[in-house]
Structure 1
Amino acid sequence: MYNFDQLLILFSALLFLVVLFSFINEKTLKLPYEIGLVVFGFIFVAIYIVGRNLNIIYIPAEFSELYREFDFTDFLFKGILCFMLFSGASRIKFGDFKADKFMIGSMAVVGTLVSTVVYGLLFFGLGYLIHVNISLLEACILGAIVAPTDPISAMSILAKAGLPKRIGLIIEGEALFNDGVAVAIFATLLSALKLSSDSVSVLSFLGGLTSEILGAVTVGFAISFLLFEVFKRSNDNFIKIFTSILTVMLAYLVCEYLGFSGPIAAVICGLYYASGIARHDEKNSACISEELLNLFYSFWSVVDNLLNGMLFLLVGVLFLNIKNINTLSVGMMIIIGIGSVVFNTIARMSGVWVSLLFNKNPPEGKGMKNPRFITFMTWAGLKGGLCLALIMGTSNSLATPTYNLSLVATYAIVLFTTVVQGLTVGKGYIMLSKKSSDYNAGQRQKNVKIAGNTAK
């Protein structure tokens, strides 16, 4: 059990690195916040590993012992994750997504499901080829982990890419909604894995799983309903913010005590607040002022950015302590890393393509279903903090070799999508839209020629 001083030391160290790397990035490379943290965090880990092997970097024994004893899984999965999920869900502005609600919904639900299954099948096949003992269920759990796109990356990185507002809203809306879908799939598959070795019937498993999810939804809805009454009746904006914090904390604690899914409850709370704020804002209710909206969205945006920053750093720190690292050769890590990036691209493209089949009226008409749009949406699917939090939450559920492989795969995907795709998505849109314009111009010229020939 940690005392306050120990927790303060760890939190201060994390915050120090976030501030240090962000400041260095701001003054040197000037990369977007998330990309800068990933790049400098990766450099920091690489320098530390080399320095430790050459015995030129020394870490005090007290700090090393504190690090080894710290339970990152509980800190991330049971602490940070619920606030991240609430933050993303509560800041959804439903009015912005009305025009493309069916597309956003299908990409968030159908696309996430398809991506999970496709990635799971591909990763399972890779495991079979390289003689790694990983089950299809474990591969699909990894598929659910890397399926959701990151709303923070979507809103900050893509905003600087010069995309049209409507395209940006589709990407942002999908990223905000698919978090809850991915967590539900992840929780379902992880529960199945935990019970697979027990002598339980399919009926009892489904019953337990249903009660876990429905219980989380009920708890999240009930607590949100009660505390949102305080939220809308209070005249003090700070009390409103404190109430939103209490809502997600209380819902998560009740679910932990009753054995329900805390992350799902956090998503329900966030969605309840988002819908409640939107409903009262449309009515110009006195309880929802412009000042409150700015304060609410700014506060939870800061929380989300801080927690994501810590997660990007923590995944590097966790990499220093992969369990039984000798079980993974350098060649194996390279194969897993490259394969994961390729599989993620295929799975993402499959999810986008299938989800578009359910939309009769895409934003720009039938042309949006062409390969160029699917290619762009695939490249714009950036991964981030939620993927890292979910994989860290499996350290006690997956066998050590499987966990190590999954951690390498997740880290490779987050690193590639954030850095490579994040830096090139704007140029990719310009290139693809230019090709589309050239194609449309060619089609118009062709139609004119055909019309002229017909007239003759």
Structure 2
Amino acid sequence: MTLFQTVTVLIALTALGGYLNHRLLSLPPTIGLMAISLVSSLVLVFLGKTGLVEIQRYARFVPSIDFSDLVFHGFLAFLLFAGALHVDLGDLYKVKWTVTILSTFGTILSTVVIGTLFWSASHALGYDLPFIYALLFGALISPTDPIAVLGIIKKAGAPKDLETRITGESLFNDGVGAVIFLSILDIATGRSGPSIATVSWFFVQETLGSIALGWLLGWMTFRLIRTIDDYQVEILLSIALCMGSYALADALRMSGPIAVVVAGLLLGNNGLKRAMSKKTQEYLGTFWELVDEILNSLLFLLMGLEILAVKETDTYLALGLIGIVCVLTGRVISVFIPIKTMSAVVSFPKGTIALLTWGGLRGALSISLAFLLPQGHVRELILTTTYIVVLFSILVQGLSFGPLLRRLVPPTRIED
């Protein structure tokens, strides 16, 4: 199947899913498309087991898609850039220490806790999962998803400081989580040694270098946009910034996710407020919201298709359910310790720990990183577990965050 044919099939299925969600479910697009993708996958699996459908035909379609290249070197740049455009740097600066500590120390702590718990659980159930691959699962599932978070948090009417803390952490822990994952993956596949010096240098190079690169390219684009007033050219420049910052960082062995987030933050603040007309702001915002919705829908559909090719889905289901417990436990610990430590000097509203824990939704990045794992039964195990955790996160946590928020935060506070 050619690339055009593959994309055509995916777009058609996504459009049909969006239509069904709008007509029948009326759920937020991210949740609705995931629900439809899940139901479609389960129906196909059921029909395959009953012999009514030759499921191998669908499973053969999946290997024709290069998931790692399509998602990690395609979708992710646009998803992160779209999320960064909507974050106000002034609001982010007010909670800078919370965001910085949660997205760095919190992500590292979460990786270790989840990886250790998942490794212990897998061995208790009889799975011979290497500890380093359990850490890889911890690294890919620890980052929270800024796109899913932003949509659901705004719909729930969260207070501005809480919204900024959650979305700011989600944007930056994506980049940190990707760096941690790639560092561990290099060790697991033998591309680099497990020395502390090697990992530390890789972390510094990817993090600091990517921030500088993203800022430089964002500033250059901002200067270009200031000299014109043409929304078509300005939108084109924003696309070039998104793709160029990610691709250049990747070519320089830096972190594409961090570079594109910083570039998006700079353009979304300096560019929108100081260089664009009201008309351009409206068109640019609408364009990136549409890109965000389409790619999120495609991503969840791709994950559903990938699960069709897993031969031992039933066997991995129990471990996937345990994975939910491991992830929630890791999230509680990685939020509780930093917040309690900072509470001596920073004032946090009532319910912050509970809301940060339950509002830490998993999504695009976790799926993207899971596709980078080498082929084999370990990949299938981690991929299936990731799918189950993301499903629970979006469908259960996403739908119940609003009621939890209204229970913990007074209505007058929400309106503010």
Q: TM class, shorter-chain normalised?
A: 0.7 to 0.9
Q: How does 1:2-401 map to 2 (within 5 A)?
A: 6-57=2-53, 67-195=62-190, 203=197, 207=201, 210-211=204-205, 216-217=210-211, 219-274=213-268, 276-277=270-271, 281=273, 285=274, 287-322=275-310, 325=311, 328=312, 330=314, 332-356=315-339, 357-359=341-343, 360-364=345-349, 368=350, 372-394=351-373, 396=374, 400-401=376-377
Alpha-carbon offset, residue 300 of structure 1:
1.9
Per-residue CA deviations over 1:142-193 (Å, capped at 9, x if unaligned) read: 1121112222222222323243343333322322332222222222222332
Per-residue CA deviations over 1:287-328 (Å, capped at 9, x if unaligned) read: 233333333333222212211111111100011112xx2xx3
Residue type at the aligned position of 1:191: D
Cα 1:195/1:264, change in 2 over 3 Å? farther
Residue type at the aligned position of 1:249: M
Equivalent-residue separation in structure 2 for 1:110 and 1:200 (angstroms): 20
Equivalent-residue separation in structure 2 for 1:60 and 1:342 (angstroms): 32
Percent identity over paired residues: 29
Per-residue CA deviations over 1:382-438 (Å, capped at 9, x if unaligned) read: 1112211121122x3xx512211111211111101111111111222233447xx9x
Contact 1:100 1:362 in 2 (8 A): no
Per-residue CA deviations over 1:17-39 (Å, capped at 9, x if unaligned) read: 22212221222222221111111
The alignment partner of 2:128 has SS state of coil
Equivalent-residue separation in structure 2 for 1:382 and 1:295 (angstroms): 28
Alpha-carbon offset, residue 206 of structure 1:
5.2
| Structure 1, 302-311 or 102-111: larger mean CA deviation | 102-111
Equivalent-residue separation in structure 1 for 2:203 and 2:91 (angstroms): 34
Contact 2:335 2:356 in 1 (8 A): yes
Alpha-carbon offset, residue 103 of structure 1:
2.3
Partner of residue 420, structure 1: 396
| Structure 1, 415-424 or 160-169: larger mean CA deviation | 160-169
Contact 1:379 1:425 in 2 (8 A): yes
The alignment partner of 2:188 has SS state of helix
Partner of residue 384, structure 2: 408
Which ranges in structure 1 are unaligned for 5 or more consecutive residues?
438-456
Residue type at the aligned position of 2:75: I
Equivalent-residue separation in structure 2 for 1:252 and 1:174 (angstroms): 20
Residue type at the aligned position of 1:190: L
| Structure 1, 152-161 or 383-392: larger mean CA deviation | 152-161
Equivalent-residue separation in structure 1 for 2:285 and 2:193 (angstroms): 47
Contact 1:89 1:267 in 2 (8 A): yes
Contact 2:317 2:385 in 1 (8 A): no
Equivalent-residue separation in structure 2 for 1:138 and 1:60 (angstroms): 28
Residue type at the aligned position of 1:228: F
Partner of residue 444, structure 1: none
Equivalent-residue separation in structure 1 for 2:60 and 2:128 (angstroms): 32
Which ranges in structure 2 are unaligned for 5 or more consecutive residues?
none
Equivalent-residue separation in structure 2 for 1:207 and 1:349 (angstroms): 29
Equivalent-residue separation in structure 2 for 1:74 and 1:329 (angstroms): 24
Alpha-carbon offset, residue 201 of structure 1:
6.4
Equivalent-residue separation in structure 1 for 2:68 and 2:236 (angstroms): 26
Contact 1:155 1:172 in 2 (8 A): yes
Cα 1:218/1:123, change in 2 over 3 Å? same
Equivalent-residue separation in structure 2 for 1:403 and 1:65 (angstroms): 17
Q: How does 1:424-435 map to 2 (within 5 A)?
A: 424-433=400-409
Equivalent-residue separation in structure 2 for 1:225 and 1:307 (angstroms): 26
**Aligned pairs, how many?**
409
After TM superposition, the score normalised by the length of structure 2 is 0.87
Residue type at the aligned position of 1:251: S
Equivalent-residue separation in structure 1 for 2:261 and 2:371 (angstroms): 19
The alignment partner of 2:342 has SS state of coil
Equivalent-residue separation in structure 2 for 1:154 and 1:212 (angstroms): 25
Residue type at the aligned position of 1:409: T
Cα 1:105/1:314, change in 2 over 3 Å? same
Alpha-carbon offset, residue 378 of structure 1:
1.3
The alignment partner of 2:338 has SS state of helix
Equivalent-residue separation in structure 2 for 1:40 and 1:119 (angstroms): 29
Residue type at the aligned position of 1:172: T
Alpha-carbon offset, residue 242 of structure 1:
0.8
Per-residue CA deviations over 1:256-301 (Å, capped at 9, x if unaligned) read: 44444433433343244345337xx3xxx4x233333333333222
Contact 1:106 1:358 in 2 (8 A): no
After TM superposition, the score normalised by the length of structure 1 is 0.80
Contact 2:218 2:263 in 1 (8 A): yes
- Higher-Rg structure is 1
